[in-house]
Amino acid sequence: MTKDDRYGAAGDTYGDVPTPEAAENGTEVSSPDRDSPAETESTGEEGEETNGTASLPFIFARRTVKADRDALPVYVRPTTTERLDALERDLDGRFDGDDVMSLDVREAVVTAGLRNVDDVVDVMEEWGYGRR
């Protein structure tokens, strides 16, 4: 497995949309152009424009797994890596038919932690924070 495979440079097909040719023969897809007229619609009253994919869930609206994300290097211990890998395998089985991307799993873990700050505090206390 290459680094690109693991982190989603290849294999993220959620942002791909069928081309007119694909509708006929079922083979070609293209990435949506966020500025294309077909993808942009006006909201009307306020005059601001929104992307036609704005109401889609994140994995379907993006062009690639790295699109609209900032890089956040995180260094973890081997046990954490093993747990993340096991979680990714579990989610891959749970969402059978979906390409579960490592970046999505990691961001979901961070987001879940931000929703459950008390759990973050508990882990940090286990690591020795607050004992001084």
Question: Is 82 a domain residue?
Answer: yes
Residue-level pLDDT at 11: 54
Closest by CA position to 19, among listed 36, 5, 4: 36
Question: Is 8 a domain residue?
Answer: no
Summarised one tens digit per residue, pLDDT across range 64-114 is 999 889 999 999 999 999 999 999 999 999 998 899 999 999 999 999 999
Domain count, the chain: 1
Question: Is 7 a domain residue?
Answer: no
Half-sphere exposure of 82 (CA within 13 A, CB side): 3
Question: Is 97 a domain residue?
Answer: yes
Residue-level pLDDT at 52: 57
Give the mean pLDDT of the chain: 75
Entry pTM? 0.60
Question: Is 10 a domain residue?
Answer: no
- Containing 51, the helix (H) or strand (E) segment is strand 49-51
Residue-level pLDDT at 16: 54
Query: Who contacts 114 (Cβ-Cβ below 8 Å, separation ≥6)?
Result: 120
Provide the domain limits for residue 126.
Answer: 70-132
Question: Is 51 a domain residue?
Answer: no
In angstroms, the CA 35 to CA 124 distance is: 44
Closest by CA position to 15, among listed 52, 50, 65: 65
Helix (H, G, I), strand (E, B) or coil at 85: helix
- Please report, for residues 10, 35, 111, 132, the alpha-carbon distance to residue 94 in angstroms, rounded to integers and kept in the order given: 21, 35, 19, 43
Question: Is 76 a domain residue?
Answer: yes
